[in-house]
Every structure is written in structure tokens, then in C-alpha cells.
């Protein structure tokens, strides 16, 4: 029976992986995977990692030296992996889709809460304060929402927005040909949208795509929603725009330095990230701790796909969800002749 080291374990992971991972001997570690903790996987055949694990070149080397030959990410994102370092050493597989509805619906929840001040009303009524002052929102109907990224999650979010009778503008370098939406350039989307929602991957071209310059082109009072990756937004510039009134609010499920804080309890600690502390304190910011994926359906799909990825690897089958530096996004790249022939990058 193959041995698997499972890192950054949370209670909601256990029941699903215990259900679907019975064919493996899985050791669950609370620790995040990084260059220091990689030694815990010595003697294991593979590891299961999460989006905030730091799988650097140093971590890859330690895993490889310890006998690990596959990294199974239980996430869609993989910007935390140095897969150039992993090439020809350790295969890297991921879960490309688990429930686009879960993340899209969470983005809608952030928008609704931010707009209608649900969080403030909840806190007031628990103290039997039933005033309505300060709780004025706006109708979503007829407003323009700009959706950046029209992959599976973006498409689901567009459908939700259409249900609210909103005008939807979309931007994607690779527009979907079968999608009934008005595509436009990024500048037009930013300048015309009352709300901007991010649904794109983190790449060198999208890192800090929301910055001082792009914020200047936005409508005064616009709302920004981000359920994708924290580094899509320059947090310092976002904070400045919120404080100045240029932006009307932000609904964030991610933060660019979240790996230091998210998924853990810091309620009894002085958080030394001033930008995060200020964002949380602002009345026009809703921040959740990367919980957009957190539905039972999504957790089940994550566990099933992760185990299926391991089954393919250990059975010497084609790796459906493999990524490598030649393929970039898991698709067969022009230089990946090996994968074309064998179904694996090496």
C-alpha cells in the first residue's frame, strides 16, 4: 500500500479523504508543506498539498531526496509550486475544477453582503438595535458588472449576474466562443463597470492587475470582488483607494499575503500585517478567509479527483491533470513531445 503524506490538514478534509483514500496509507500532518517540513515526508511515495503550502525548489529537492515522486495538489491553483524544479523529478497533479458554482456563489454572497450591509444589520439586531440608518444599498438590476476571466467559475458568475438583470461586460485574453456575453477590452470594462469581479488565474501578466493605474480608470464608488488569488490586487493601493473614497468597497475572499494567516486562528494575537489589519477594520470591506470553495459538494469532488490523480500515477496511466513547466496550464504544450506520446511530461 502506497504511503501518502497529507499536509495542512483541516477537520473538513478528513472525512472526505478517509472515505475515498482507503487504498492508501495516509498520514495527516497539521503542518504546512515547505522547505522545513518537507522532511516529514521522508519515506513516503507521495504528498497531498494545498494552495497555501510553499512548494519551492528547496522543498521539491527535499521531497525528492526523501522518496516522494508525486505531488497531488488538492486545489486548482498551482502558483505556489516551483514546477520547473519538479520537472523530471516529481510529477505534479491538481484538481482543475471541483465546484465552480461554490466559488461563483460565494462571490455573489460577498457582493450582496457588501451592498446591502447584511453584516452590519446582523450585528445590530443581535443587540436589539433595529435602526436602518447607514444600511442603504443599491439595486443590482441595471448596473454594469465587469467580469475578468470567463473560465468555469467566471461563466457561472456571469449566469448569476444575468439572473439579477445586470449588464455584464467580460474580459478574457481567450474569449469563450460559445458564451453569450459582451466581451470588451480591459480599460473599457474598468471604466464602465459599477462592480468588478476577478475570476482569473495568477500569472505574471495578471499579478497586481488591480493597481494604482487601473484603479484610476474605474468609476468613483465602484466595488471590487476577488475570489481568485490575492496577488491579483495590489493591497496597498486598494487600501489607499478605499480610504480616499475612490472605491466604494471591496469583497475579498483572498489576500496577497494570506498564507501567513488564512485557515488559522489569530484571534488572540496581534496581527503584524498593517495592511490586512486596516482592511479588516474598514466598514466597506468584507473579508473572508478563502472559503469560496467550502461546500460539501466541492470537498467531495476535491477528494475524489485527488485520489483519482494518485491512482493514475501509481498505475502508470496517463496523468489527466498533470502540470509541468512546458505545459504551463496542464494542456499539452508545443514542446511537450513526451506527454503527447505517453500521457506524461516525463
Q: What distance lies between CA 110 and its chain's CA centroid?
A: 15
Active site residue 290: yes
Q: How long is the chain?
A: 346
Task: With beta carbons less than 8 A apart as the criterion, state whether 109 and 253 touch.
Answer: no
**CA distances (Å), origin 147, targets 152, 196, 226, 268:** 12, 6, 10, 37
Active site residue 74: no
Annotated catalytic residue within 229, 256, 322, 339: 229
Which residues are CB-neighbours of 323 under 8 A, at least 6 positions away? 78, 81, 83, 92, 93, 94, 329, 330
Grid coordinates of 218 = 474605474
Closest CA to 297 of 101, 51, 85, 57: 101
**CA distances (Å), origin 3, targets 48, 264, 299, 336:** 11, 27, 22, 30
Annotated catalytic residue within 106, 194, 199, 290: 290
Which residues are CB-neighbours of 25 under 8 A, at least 6 positions away? 1, 2, 3, 4
DSSP states along 279-316: HHH-TTEEE--S-TT-SHHHHHHHHHHHHHHHHHHHTT
Active site residue 204: no
DSSP state letter for 209? -
DSSP states along 119-131: HHHHHHHHTT---
Within 13 Å and on the Cβ side, how many CA atoms surround 260? Answer: 9
Annotated catalytic residue within 105, 258, 312, 322: 258
Residue positions annotated with a catalytic role: 229, 258, 290
Amino acid at each position: 500500500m502506497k504511503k501518502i503524506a497529507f499536509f495542512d490538514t483541516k477537520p473538513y478534509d478528513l472525512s472526505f479523504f478517509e472515505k475515498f483514500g482507503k487504498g492508501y496509507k495516509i498520514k495527516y500532518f497539521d503542518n504546512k508543506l515547505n522547505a522545513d517540513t518537507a522532511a516529514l515526508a521522508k519515506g513516503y511515495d507521495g504528498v497531498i498539498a494545498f494552495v497555501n503550502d510553499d512548494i519551492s525548489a528547496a522543498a521539491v529537492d527535499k521531497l525528492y531526496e526523501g522518496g516522494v515522486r508525486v505531488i497531488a495538489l488538492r486545489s486548482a491553483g498551482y502558483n505556489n509550486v516551483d514546477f520547473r524544479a519538479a520537472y523530471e523529478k516529481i510529477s505534479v497533479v491538481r484538481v482543475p475544477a471541483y465546484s465552480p458554482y461554490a466559488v461563483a456563489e460565494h462571490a455573489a454572497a460577498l457582493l450582496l453582503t457588501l451592498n446591502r450591509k447584511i453584516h452590519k444589520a446582523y450585528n445590530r439586531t443581535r443587540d436589539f438595535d433595529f435602526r436602518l440608518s447607514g444600511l442603504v444599498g443599491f439595486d443590482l438590476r441595471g448596473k454594469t458588472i465587469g467580469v475578468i476571466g470567463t473560465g468555469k467559475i467566471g461563466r457561472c458568475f456571469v449566469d448569476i449576474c444575468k439572473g439579477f438583470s445586470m449588464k455584464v461586460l467580460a474580459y478574457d485574453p481567450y474569449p469563450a466562443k460559445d458564451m453569450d456575453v459582451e466581451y470588451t477590452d480591459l480599460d473599457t470594462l474598468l471604466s464602465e463597470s459599477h462592480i468588478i469581479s476577478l475570476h482569473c488565474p495568477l500569472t505574471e501578466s495578471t499579478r497586481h492587475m488591480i493597481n494604482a493605474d487601473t484603479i484610476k480608470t474605474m468609476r468613483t464608488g465602484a466595488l471590487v470582488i476577488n475570489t481568485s488569488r490575492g496577488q491579483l490586487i495590489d493591497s496597498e493601493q486598494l487600501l489607499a483607494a478605499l480610504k480616499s473614497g475612490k472605491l466604494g468597497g471591496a469583497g475579498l475572499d483572498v489576500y496577497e499575503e494570506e498564507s501567513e494567516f488564512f485557515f488559522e486562528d489569530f484571534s488572540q494575537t496581534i496581527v503584524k500585517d498593517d495592511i490586512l489589519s486596516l482592511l479588516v477594520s474598514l466598514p466597506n470591506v468584507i473579508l473572508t478567509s478563502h472559503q469560496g470553495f467550502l461546500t460539501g459538494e466541492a470537498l467531495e469532488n476535491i477528494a475524489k479527483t485527488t485520489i483519482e490523480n494518485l491512482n493514475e500515477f501509481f498505475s502508470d496511466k496517463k496523468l489527466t491533470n498533470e502540470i509541468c513547466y512546458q505545459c504551463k496550464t496542464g494542456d499539452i504544450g508545443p514542446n511537450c513531445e513526451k506527454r503527447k506520446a505517453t500521457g506524461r511530461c516525463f
